[in-house]
Structure 1
C-alpha cells in the first residue's frame, strides 16, 4: 500500500526600502509527519528596530498564510479519509 505525506513549505521576507529586514519560513505537515514550525530571522537589526511595526505586521500576515496551509492540509486529510 502506498503511504504519502503532504507537507507545505512557505518562505517570505519583510522588506523596507528594498532591503530585507526579516525572513520567515514555515513548514506545515499532515498529522502523521511531525510538528509544524514557524521561524523568523532578523536580517538587519537596525532596520528592524526602526520598523518593528511593519515587520511585525508582515510576520502576522505570514503566520496567517501558515494557518491557511494548516487548514488546507487538514481538509485534504479529511477528504482522503472519506475515500478510504
Structure 2
C-alpha cells in the first residue's frame, strides 16, 4: 500500500500523488465518490457510463408518461411549445 502526505488547497482540492495515481490507474476525467468515515474520508473511483445513465433516465421518464396517460403527440406538442 502506498502512503504520502498531501495538503489541501484553499479551494479544497487534494492532489493524489503520481505513484498512487499510476498504481490505481486514475485518469484526469475519472469520477470519485467521497464517503465520510469515522476517522477521515475515503474516495472510491466510480464508473459513470453516460449511455447507460441516459437509458435509465429515459426509461424512468417513459414509465412516468405512461403512468400519467400522456400520448406521444401531447409530449411533442409540449416540447414544441417549450422551445418557443
TM > 0.5:
no
Relative contact order, CA 8 A, sep 6+: which one is greater? 1
How high is the TM-score relative to the length of structure 1? 0.27
How high is the TM-score relative to the length of structure 2? 0.27
Asked which structure has the greater CA Rg, the reply is: 2
